[in-house]
Amino acid sequence: MSIKKTSLNNLHIKYGAKLVEFAGYQMPIQYKDGIIQEHKYTRSHSGIFDVSHMGQLFISGGDDLTNDLEKIFPADLKKLKTNQSKYSFLMNNKGGIQDDLIITKTSDGFLIILNAACKYNDYEVIKSKLDNQYKLNLDESLSLIALQGPEAKNVLNKVIPGCNSLKFMNGNNYIYNNKKVYITRSGYTGEDGFEISIKHSDTETFVESLIENGSKLIGLGARDTLRMEAGLCLYGNDLDNDTSPIEANLKWAIPKSRIETEFVGSEVLKNQFQSGVKKLRVGIKPDSKVIARGNTKIYNDKNQEIGKVTSGTFGPSVEHPIAMGYVDNSYSTVNTKIFLEVRGKKIPANICNLPFYKKNYVKGEINV
């Protein structure tokens, strides 16, 4: 299979991107400024992320669609207002996460944003679970651009007037270059921001105008350090088929109204809600400057293995190494002393609260 390019490929090259293959796409890992500067610019001003590799799945048709989707996703879709978004999961029968995703109610159905590496599989799974009754469109004629940071609202409002009135986890249709674009206020950095779904042919001009208004392109490297500081999970690292949302400490994303109802994986989740879980995702802060990356083994003070790190890096804004991982539930309390095995040495660390970096979201209607 040949490597795919997004509609911004030429622009990435123009701005000096180092390109890498990610989920079958040629994507920028960083630009000329480097990961730390890009990270800090997003926190202090605004950063543009090409996330066009992610899946944009539109589902429409039929009065029972909401009901049928609730049999798949543990979200309260009946209560969702048009243009409102929720974070949810596609699970297997064991309650393991097959993908984490954002569901938005649109005027004629739902839009689901899927992880790049999972999107084709998700499409097949959802289609078969819906018994082919609805119209599913994994729309590859659209790019997806995220604009994140405290200045994002001002920059975007200059290019697409009116969008700064959107509330967090809400979307709407806007016009750019006489064509419809769909914008949601959401993101993956711990900052206020937007995701813009736009026709491929308009993407380059749109992004250039964001740059003219002061934003900078940001690569996947800084996207990763930003999301880690914000305590957000990366599918494939922090979430996988053998991990449930409860174990992932994402219980907040499963509304109480759904716990007693049926959906894929509901039996396991109900049981975990009642009896608790064995492992739990936690934040980890090493005492020293040593960085513990994914797969680092975690030990207790008796040298017994109690878990493993799933993501770890140096946090440019917190100016300290940060990590998250799974530990035996009895070690998940904040301030528990643990030890990370890095290059044969046991590095002392503490369980800590997530996020590492305090969020700056613009509050809207949030019911968690």
Partner 1 sequence: MSEVKYSKEHEWIKLDGEEATIGITKHATEMLGDIVFAELPEKGSNVDKDGTAGVVESTKAASDVYTPVSGEVIDTNQMIVDDPSKINEDPEESAWFFKLKIKDKSEMDSLMSKEEYEKFAKESSA
Q: Which residues bind partner 1 (CB under 8 A)?
A: 29-30, 34-37, 39, 221, 225, 289-291, 293, 313-314, 316, 321, 343
Instruction: Residue 317: name the closest of 2, 38, 58, 6 by CA.
Output: 38
**How many secondary structure helices (H) and strands (E) does the chain include?**
9, 20
**Minimum gap (Å) between residue 350 Cβ and partner 1:** 19
Strands 4-5 and 25-30: parallel
**Minimum gap (Å) between residue 193 Cβ and partner 1:** 21
**Minimum gap (Å) between residue 291 Cβ and partner 1:** 5
Task: Say how far apart CA 357 and CA 42 lie, in whole Å.
Answer: 13
The smaller minimum CB distance to partner 1, of residues 29 and 268, is found at 29
The smaller minimum CB distance to partner 1, of residues 95 and 221, is found at 221
Report residue 323 CA to chain centroid gap.
17
The smaller minimum CB distance to partner 1, of residues 85 and 313, is found at 313
**Minimum gap (Å) between residue 228 Cβ and partner 1:** 10
CA 8 vs CA 69, 84, 156: distances in Å:
33, 28, 18
CA 348 vs CA 162, 245, 336, 363: distances in Å:
50, 28, 11, 37
- Radius of gyration (Cα) for the chain, nearest Å? 20
The smaller minimum CB distance to partner 1, of residues 96 and 190, is found at 190
**Minimum gap (Å) between residue 224 Cβ and partner 1:** 8
Task: Say how far apart CA 57 and CA 122 lie, in whole Å.
Answer: 9
3-state secondary structure 228-294: HHCCCCCECCCECCCCCCCCCCCHHHCCHHHHCCCCCCHHHHHHHHHHCCCEEEEEEEECCCCCCCC
The smaller minimum CB distance to partner 1, of residues 35 and 117, is found at 35
**Minimum gap (Å) between residue 16 Cβ and partner 1:** 12
Residue that is written with structure tokens 């813009």 in the block: 196
**Minimum gap (Å) between residue 230 Cβ and partner 1:** 15
The smaller minimum CB distance to partner 1, of residues 46 and 225, is found at 225
The smaller minimum CB distance to partner 1, of residues 273 and 314, is found at 314
Task: Say how far apart CA 86 and CA 186 lie, in whole Å.
Answer: 10
